[in-house]
Amino acid sequence: MAPAASSSAPSFSSADALLSSFRFERVLSEDPRALLVYLLGTAVPEGQSERAPCILKLEKTPYAPDEAPSLATPGAWSKLQTVTCNDIYSTSLAWFAPGRTTADVQILSICPATEKHVKKYSMQVSRLVRETPELYETVVKPYMDSLSPSTISWVYNILDGTAEAENVLYRDDDPETGFVLTPDLKWDQKTLSALYLLVLTQDRTIRSLRNLRTRHLPLLRKIRQECERVAMERYGIEKGELRFFVHYQPTYYHFHVHIVHLSYLSFSGITVGQAHLLDDLIDSLSLEVEASNSGGPAPLQSWFERRTFTYSLGVEHPLYALLKEKGA
Amino acid sequence: MAPAASSSAPSFSSADALLSSFRFERVLSEDPRALLVYLLGTAVPEGQSERAPCILKLEKTPYAPDEAPSLATPGAWSKLQTVTCNDIYSTSLAWFAPGRTTADVQILSICPATEKHVKKYSMQVSRLVRETPELYETVVKPYMDSLSPSTISWVYNILDGTAEAENVLYRDDDPETGFVLTPDLKWDQKTLSALYLLVLTQDRTIRSLRNLRTRHLPLLRKIRQECERVAMERYGIEKGELRFFVHYQPTYYHFHVHIVHLSYLSFSGITVGQAHLLDDLIDSLSLEVEASNSGGPAPLQSWFERRTFTYSLGVEHPLYALLKEKGA
């Protein structure tokens, strides 16, 4: 007679015992970046004779703090495979042990690296700032005006059709409600759960969401509707599967909308404060129209002009020192 | 004479050549979950004699789609170490190869697993829903009313001091502007860059941000100020290093505020739509006061009552079917 396990007895006393009896059934779920996986199967708890459902979570571990230097030696790897070498950039794959089907680590190298490279990949310290309407007028607007118009000529090239024309998914040339829809460069155009599209508006007067007014509602609503329709037709995306958002501060000052798949979560671009849902922009402007129709007062009639925006900013960003100086 | 490398010649022809000449200097940056690391060092490009700055990015790779089953066998590992066994739960560490200082994978197991476990760890399909004020009244409010009050008795235990009293970082018993600040269970209370605190308000009438009105401004402002002060004193956190936010939909219907370190980005709890910055709530209510003082009309005097909220909801969530049925 097999000894009856008490209800609080461990079902396994060792990882070996567990894995030796495990029979794989199916993958339950994976992280979008897939560094962890949940498996479902069965196993025979010690002291029992029947198989029982068993879930395994396998999660790759972070690097230990003192491990970093030793990784950059050939001795750390059982196998190294060069993938590409292009000028100063190269990509390789590395295996911790022989016999593993897939590489354990991807290695990217830049050599010779410039100061700019070093800065780009160095730890960015960020702080929250509060941009009041006054700080927008006295700090952010002058900063935008100081930037060379050439920094957004790539945008105008796309709008004018002189660049990336072959990538355009949808084009509407209306000067007020028109826009161009393209795949974002960050998307591999294959992995649907990481879908990333970009909308550039024809209207060159909207520099950021600070400039949005109720007259822009038709443009915003058209972007929401038409892009969802195009994505459904082209990629088989279902209603409610896409997240539309705008950044503030944006990286460049020509109004643009990011569109990503709802399950694409492993990137900081969707963080509250930086990201603003297009649906929320539309809702806020709609309430503004409602207020105006009821004879409402000025304060709520320029929502995006009156708002204080709180966002995180790298302390190396040119705006950070300027805003801090004025008490943001 | 060493042959002069052309400017477009690869600086290395193989990963071996690169790593063999690499000399480690320092870690430039790491992901918060630290599955990637940027190293700075120097290396000697092929055909050259001088050391040049070299950046290496080492990134652990995702599991391959067909790799999962083979991971759940003892043969996949060169070493297995059991960490804990507690009833049906156990934790182990596994190494891909001998000689590696740290484990490559952490394995968690649940056996026997229940249907609830299986559901919890299965891929969650989510969709965006739009909760209008009407849907709040007709769907969400009745849903909240249907929940057993016992689901938040753990909250009242903390507020009353009958549970977790030893964990409380700050307590203010004012029935209107008071709150309790505790470390969140998700925080290990050690890693500052993953700091996670929780604020529970004494006012039991605020069930979610939908109930926020201008009269709550003193409460919200006190939370913002006092918690920042306590975190500075207790953990040496600097001004602007903390992100305060509220979830909608929340997991439980007693108003609470999440506080996390600004650099803690690798979790979906800060996603736009679900997360709302406390600073933005305060700003919106302040503009409401301004509108009211200028003799504004009703529509914009209950901002959180009038708003349409767009958020992602698991299709298994009880609210999803109810909202969809009514056209959300």
A255 annotated ligand binder: yes
Report the candidate in B243, B130, B255 with the shortest Cα–Cα distance to residue A274: B243
Residue B92 pLDDT: 85
Whole-Å CA distances, A205 to A168, A176, A281, B173, B305: 22, 10, 18, 51, 33
Residues 6+ apart with CB under 8 A from B259: B195, B196, B197, B198, B199, B227, B231, B242, B243, B244
Q: Residue A218: enclosing H or E segment and its boundaries? A: helix A217-235
- Measured between beta carbons, the chain A residues lying within 8 angstroms of B312 are 243, 262
Tell me which of A272 and B11 has the higher pLDDT: A272
Residue B320 pLDDT: 95
Which residues of chain A are modeled with pLDDT < 70? 1-10, 31-34, 296-301
Q: Is B293 exposed, middle or buried (0-12, 13-18, 19+ CB in 10 A)?
A: exposed
A317 has catalytic annotation: no
Residue B262 pLDDT: 93
Residue B217 reports pLDDT greater than 90: yes
pLDDT tens-digit series, residues A239-269: 899 999 999 999 999 999 999 999 888 788 9
Residue B272 pLDDT: 96
Residue B3 pLDDT: 37
Give me the phi and psi of B305, to 5 degrees please.
-85, -30
Class of B127-325 in CATH: alpha beta
Q: Percent of chain B scored above 90 by pLDDT?
A: 47
Q: How far apart are alpha carbons A76 and A70 in whole angstroms?
A: 7
Residues B60, A59: C-beta atoms closer than 8 Å: no
Domain ranges of chain A: 15-59, 74-120, 126-325
- Pair A56, B117: CB distance under 8 Å: no
- Pair A328, A143: CB distance under 8 Å: no
Q: How far apart are alpha carbons B85 and A47 in whole angstroms?
A: 15
Mean pLDDT of chain B: 87
Which residue of B44, B61, B239 to mutate against A (max A Cβ within 10 Å)?
B61
Residue B298 reports pLDDT greater than 90: no
pLDDT tens-digit series, residues B17-62: 888 888 998 888 876 566 778 889 998 888 888 888 898 888 888 7
Tell me which of B328 and A235 has the higher pLDDT: A235
Residue B233 reports pLDDT greater than 80: yes
> Distance of alpha carbon B15 from its chain centroid, rounded?
36
Q: Which of B18, B107, B298 sits opposite A15 (nearest CB)?
A: B107
Residue B7 reports pLDDT greater than 50: no
Predicted confidence band of residue B5 (pLDDT cuts 50, 70, 90): very low
Give me the phi and psi of B26, to 5 degrees please.
-160, 165
Residues A30, B123: C-beta atoms closer than 8 Å: yes
Spell out a b/e string for A273-290, using b for 16 or more CB atoms within 10 Å of the CB, else e. Answer: bbbbbbbbbbbbbbbbeb
Residue B174 reports pLDDT greater than 70: yes
Q: 3-state DSSP call for residue B290?
A: helix
A303 annotated ligand binder: no
Residues A55, B109: C-beta atoms closer than 8 Å: yes
How close B116 comes to chain A (CA, Å)? Answer: 11
Q: 3-state DSSP call for residue B53?
A: strand
**Average pLDDT over every residue of B120-132:** 88
Residues A272, B268: C-beta atoms closer than 8 Å: no
Residues B82, A111: C-beta atoms closer than 8 Å: no
- Measured between beta carbons, the chain B residues lying within 8 angstroms of A72 are 19, 22, 24, 39, 41, 56, 58
How close B325 comes to chain A (CA, Å)? Answer: 14
Domain A126-325: assigned CATH number: 3.30.428.10
- Measured between beta carbons, the chain B residues lying within 8 angstroms of A241 are 127-128
pLDDT tens-digit series, residues B234-282: 999 998 999 999 999 999 999 999 999 998 887 889 999 999 999 999 9
> Distance of alpha carbon B44 from its chain centroid, rounded?
42
Q: Which of A67, A90, A270 sits opposite B18 (nearest CB)?
A: A90
Q: How far apart are alpha carbons A28 and A51 in whole angstroms?
A: 19
Residue B9 pLDDT: 62
Closest residue of chain B to A13, computed from CA coordinates: B85
